[in-house]
Amino acid sequence: MQEKDMVNDVLGSLKSSLTSYGTVIGECEDQNLRQALQQIRNECEHYHYQLFKVAEQKNYYKPAQKASDHQVQQLKSEFTHGAQGNWTTGVNTGRNTWNM
């Protein structure tokens, strides 16, 4: 196996782990466990970024074109307004749901 393939495999695994951490942290009620998981996630995220930079320097990965300042502000606005949906309890299931 070539180095490029190994780097890409590790990056893929780290991305998957970060997604899982986000799900678990979002559903974790115990604050001590939540904080521990957040710390582990932050370290994983940091390692992922470092490995991404190495992959980029070795031309193993070519990132998408950088977004303009306008595009960044537009996305920030959309995500900020989208995240302010109404949080309610579902009538039939008793589960929490987002109403947008």
Q: What is the pLDDT of residue 85?
A: 58
- 30 and 79 fall within a common domain: no
Residues 86 and 42 in one domain: no
Element of type H or E holding 96: strand 96-99
Note if the pTM is more than 0.75. Answer: no
- Is a pLDDT exceeding 50 seen at residue 95? no
**Residue 29: domain span:** 1-63
H or E element, residue 75: helix 69-82
Whether 54 and 27 map to the same domain: the answer is: yes
pLDDT tens string 14-71:
999 999 999 999 999 999 999 999 999 999 999 999 999 999 999 998 878 889 999 9
Q: Does the pLDDT of residue 3 top 70, yes or no?
A: yes
Instruction: Name the pLDDT band for 97 (thresholds 50, 70, 90).
Output: very low
Contacts of 10 (CB under 8 A, 6+ apart): 51
